Amino acid sequence: MSRARQSLFFRLLGLLVLPFFLACGESLPPAELPTLIDAATSGESDAEHTLEPPTLDDDAGLPDSDATAGESDAGPDADSDAALDAEPDAGFDAEPDAGDPPEEEEDLRPVLYPDGWVRSPISPSVVASMRAITAKNADSDPETFIKVGDSHTVNTNFMRCFDSDSALDLDGRTYLSDAIAAFRAGNSSPFSRTSLAAKVGMSASWAMTADSTGIAPVDQEIAALNPRFALVSYGTNDMQSWGEGPLLHQNAVWNFHANMTALLDHLIDQGIVPIVTGLLPRGDSAKFPDAPLWVPAYNALTRGMAEARQIPWFDMFGATKDIPGQALASDGLHGNSSSRPCDFTADALTYNYNLRNLNNMELLSDAWRTVILGERAPDTEGLAFISGSGAPTDPFQITSLPFTHHANTASSPHSIIASYPVCSTADESGAEFYYRLTLKQATNVRLMVFSENNSDIDLHVLTGGLGASGCLARNDKIIQRRFEAGTYDIVLDSYAGLVGPYQLVVVECESGDETCE
């Protein structure tokens, strides 16, 4: 029984025994009656994460300069003191006992999405972000979601089975039942609906490109359902959507970032919370030899895009990479499924679609409970926060790989290094942020920076301190090489003063990836 349900039980019990105490002449304190709740109030959730995150430094939060659109520091009124002190809804006269201790203040610092969590934390900052998004369209259907993606989304094994009790085996996860029932009652049966925004073989750009009707597929689906949430999954087709040859996947990653961020921000602007699924492994190396080597980089990029916006994310790659056969179908490209894709018993959860369905439903349930029912964030312990401020004397710490971070050099007070003559004569006179990476052993590492909104942010790796003369490597987009054990300073510097937002992704290269050796 959840803590919210336990509370209701004991309140009802109190109402039953109240006449007995009154008959005996005892005086009781005023009853604390339940109040109706909305998105500005709080509760508890039964949802649990099955994996613990790795230990990361959490002694420092993001600086004010790191605020980006959609992040929690621009949270909704629901998180203000005024919202917490709001009057109870009409119909309940009783005031809370003045002697009750106030609720513990929530930590709204943006959280990291650490490797090892199959589902990203649904922390107070993520809940605040989701509430801020949905506040943009209060008229949307609170119990409806849309599906946006490629063949993995079109597949009939994805989510449709939630529409039938006979197809379900929650294996004890009864806390999901309320959300399942709510979404079944949503607009146009979203579980079983054939989405206008999902099509075989498509990439993220397709969803945002107007078709013969003059309207983009994602906007057609939004108009049809007016949803509060969206399940979004792209990347597999995007990996080979630009160019050809040995740098096929490397060249395509920049377009994927641009198209996927445009899609996510478009949904957010419409008041729709995107719930993002990362990439699944690939076993089609006969056709695309390097594809399996690049999946972790693309997957980390989706992690970073979700983390930057503090929206839910599911690590499909992390959930299946160690399963025999990586939970792939015989083509090595698509996921497999048991005969019942909504069977969530242990054996069934060795299949791709069973895992995909369970984790998407877990995130939908958490989003519905916290945004629609107003319950409190289920994840408040074991959270990780960025360490450091980005200053040269206090750099952001890269404590584990993969690592992602979103920042904006327009807000950086640091503009110390104007050029790196050992590496390049390029004008780097704009503002910069500093990071520190310490490797205990020689490691092949890929660093990528994705400049946004007409900014031009370049990568620089320094050794032996922060002097420009210690420049080891420099590139405007990507550095991939073998780094010996030691400490490295990484400077994200603005070319020719073109400051602005960027996404940094740092991953360990896969074994056999010759581009990193």
pLDDT of residue 255: 96
* Global pTM value: 0.80
What CATH code is assigned to 396-516? 2.60.120.380
505 φ, ψ to 5°?
A: -130, 130
- Sorting pLDDT into bands at 50, 70 and 90, what band is 26? very low
pLDDT of residue 103: 59
Higher-scoring residue by pLDDT: 107, 9: 107
Q: How far apart are CA 201 and CA 203, in angstroms?
A: 7
Dihedral angle computed from the Cα positions of residues 385, 387, 390 and 391, in that order, rounded to the nearest 10 degrees: 150
Task: Evaluate if residue 27 carries a pLDDT over 50.
Answer: no
Rg (the chain; Cα; Å)? 25
The tens digit of pLDDT for each residue in 497-512 reads 999 999 999 999 999 9
**Average pLDDT, stretch 167-195?**
96
The tens digit of pLDDT for each residue in 436-451 reads 999 999 999 999 999 9
Give the percent of the chain with pLDDT over 70. Answer: 80
The tens digit of pLDDT for each residue in 198-233 reads 999 999 999 999 999 999 999 999 999 999 999 999
- Sorting pLDDT into bands at 50, 70 and 90, what band is 243? confident
Alpha helices for 347-464 (secondary structure H)? 352-367
**Average pLDDT, stretch 402-423?**
96
First-to-last alpha carbon distance for the chain, in angstroms, is: 53
Fold of the domain built from segment(s) 124-372: Rossmann fold (3.40.50)
Contacts of 48 (CB under 8 A, 6+ apart): 378
CB atoms within 10 A of CB 42: 20
Q: How far apart are CA 243 and CA 130, in angstroms?
A: 36
- Sorting pLDDT into bands at 50, 70 and 90, what band is 244? confident
pLDDT of residue 464: 87
Task: Evaluate if residue 92 carries a pLDDT over 60.
Answer: no
Among 92, 81, 101, 75, which Cα is nearest to 37's? Answer: 92
CB-facing half-sphere around the CA of 504: CA atoms within 13 A: 29
The tens digit of pLDDT for each residue in 122-163 reads 999 999 999 999 999 999 999 999 999 999 999 999 999 999
Helix (H) or strand (E) holding 16, with range, is helix 3-23
Query: What does DSSP assign to residue 289?
Result: T
Among 492, 379, 361, 347, which Cα is nearest to 434's? Answer: 492
**Average pLDDT, stretch 84-98?**
38
